[in-house]
Chain A
Amino acid sequence: MIEWINVITQGILLGGIYALFATGLSLSFGVMRLINMAHGDFIILAAFLAFAVVQPLQINPFYMILLIVPLMAFFGYVLQRLVLNKTLGEDILSPLLVTFGMSIIIQNLLLEIFSADSRGLNAGIVEVASISLGENMAIGVFPLITITIAIAVIIALQVIFYKTRLGRCFRATSDDHITSSIMGINTKHIYGMAMGLALGVTAIAGVLMAIRTNFDPSAGPLQLLYAFEVVIIGGLGSFWGTLIGGIILGIAQTVGSHFDPGWGILAGHIVFIIILMIKPNGLFPKMKGK
């Protein structure tokens, strides 16, 4: 019994990082209907950026969040204004293939620069520290920090979306971008801001992932699949839904791995497919998927 409580607790905590993976994807899809196929590679890109600074300077990777977030946010804004805005329209072919092209470019550039070696960030004692809860149970400090950050990010996004002018613009543009532009909203700028925000959150996810586990240039697509599964399970457009989605995927994976280490990711995919069969719009949909 205690064993199972342990497994489920690990799963819930794992959900924190998956929720962070998914929030950025949900944001860009929610505001501008853009499925960013390079999303996973942006996570890995953030991880490598952190790695490139941390390695020579030997500083605590947690500080990297302060540096990488604005960097990636700026990159996201520029990318959206210069490239991605040109792909948006009725047809999803163009954004899909353009971001897929980006995905391949990022993967192979990282491969050329950093080689195919597996890398990791060392955050010191925090990584292994745990809080003991009784005899056979312990909660890792780092996963706890991760899920706390995930919840903080979700609260922050809720505030931005529902309490600020920018958030009103996001929601208005998402509902009807033509009317929004008639009402004086610069939708191109709003899309840029949304992508900036999305990649900012992605940067947090990337740095935390780099501390949690090893990564290499080809790891992006798998992170994209996780993020995508979480968005669908949670339901599109709901930030709290992504947290629940992340937790469900996390539990599915830890339970799967508990039976056989080779079944973790597979169990996640299968739970995703089952939920899809039962509720194609996810558990807590706020808007309908196209």
Chain B
Amino acid sequence: MESFLSKYEITRGNKLTYAFSIFTVFFIIFLVSTPWWLDRAEVRRITEFLYILALAQMWNLLAGYGGLLSVGQQLFIGIGAYTLVIFSYKLGLNPFLVIPIAGIVSLIVAFGVSKVAFRLKGAYFAVGTWVLAETFRLLFSNVSWLGGGSGLSITNTMRGIPTWWRESLTLWFAILIGIGSVLLVNYILRSKYGLSLTAVRDSEVASESLGINVKKVKLLVYLISAFGCGMAGALIFITKLRVSPEAAFSIDWTVIMFFIVVIGGIGTIEGPIIGTIVYFTLRETLNGFGTWYLIILGLFTIIVMIKYPQGLWGLIKNRFNIHLFAIKRHVKEKPS
């Protein structure tokens, strides 16, 4: 090992990734400042962009890096939403403080749910997680204390918070979650855990034989993803201020994550970012044509999956050989 390291050097970053890190810092400052000079509709749009990005990153981490094809991530968005209802609407806590609590509650629920879901593999796991999310949706529909099937309006949780502060705080938390999800995935993939995660995705048998605790690795990524989705869920319903089981546990959330991640490029950090941009562009352009944007996204997903399984970022990456995040390890012989 010593002699190997003295002969070769392993690098991850290059000029481009360093430049991109500096750009990210300025971009965050730019985003934080928007409430002072952009109008409210734009700020809301940026907020939505950021929480959708967070969802996409969380699904990409789970499916693209962890190989766990969940169709049930809406479960944790719903749990996040109802954590908001219980802690903020019922118990009177500040809604923004509930966001981290929602993450923790989702994590705990995910731990419980994993006992069932992890008995399933592959396609079974996919549909099984969906059934679990539906089960929770129906359970919440039957609790009249939480508004039953028709849900309830939680507008009065915002009482006493001026509109500007409300919109700005929502945006800042969205930045925390959106950019935070990107940085979290980046951090995970640079760590030893990230290596074992992708190893498990590529071959469970081989990973096991190298001493990786496969079960633990999979469980952890499932918990992290639930944590992210739960926080995003609470934030989403802070922007909507109306919670119903139908909206909170909707499969549509997971559909959006699919489309974004596949079109952008599954198993890359850049992919979900590009996918989110494509999603918003398409939705805004076809605004006024009903659900045609979904039909086009569906077609786009099928074409990308069959012809370009690495997605748009895969095309760019292969063409120009660039990476924006310093994740990949490059081995170079040291000049002696």
Contacts and interface: CB of A to CB of B under 8 A. Distances in A.
Interface of A: 29, 33, 35, 37, 83, 86-87, 92-94, 96-98, 100-105, 108-109, 111-112, 221, 224-225, 228-229, 232, 260, 262-263, 265-266, 269-270, 272-273, 276-277, 280, 289-290
Given A94-B306, A97-B305, A280-B120, A104 B126 contact: no
B13 interface: no
Nearest to B64: A93
A92 B305 CA distance: 12
Contacts of A108: 291-292, 294-295, 298
B138 interface: yes
B63 A93 contact: yes
Contact of B142 (A83, A224, A225, A262): A262
Nearest to B294: A108
A104 B302 CA distance: 11
Nearest to B306: A86
B258 A97 contact: yes
Interface of B: 63, 69, 71, 116, 119-124, 126-128, 130-132, 134-135, 138-139, 141-142, 149, 251, 255, 258-259, 262, 266, 290-292, 294-295, 297-299, 301-302, 305-306, 309
B149 A262 contact: yes
A109 B299 CA distance: 12
Given A35-B123, A111-B291, A266-B139, A97 B301 contact: yes
B131 A96 contact: no
Contact of A273 (B122, B132, B251, B266): B132
A232 B139 contact: no
Contacts of B291: 108, 111-112
Most chain B CB within 10 A, of A104, A105, A109, A112, is at A104
A228 B302 CA distance: 22
Contacts of A103: 298
A109 B290 CA distance: 11
Contacts of B139: 266
A273 B142 contact: no
Nearest to A106: B298
A265 B306 contact: no
Given A104-B297, A269-B134, A277-B119, A228 B127 contact: yes
A228 to B, nearest CB: 5
A169 B166 CA distance: 64
A273 B135 CA distance: 9
B144 to A, nearest CB: 10
Given A35-B123, A108-B294, A266-B142, A276 B116 contact: yes
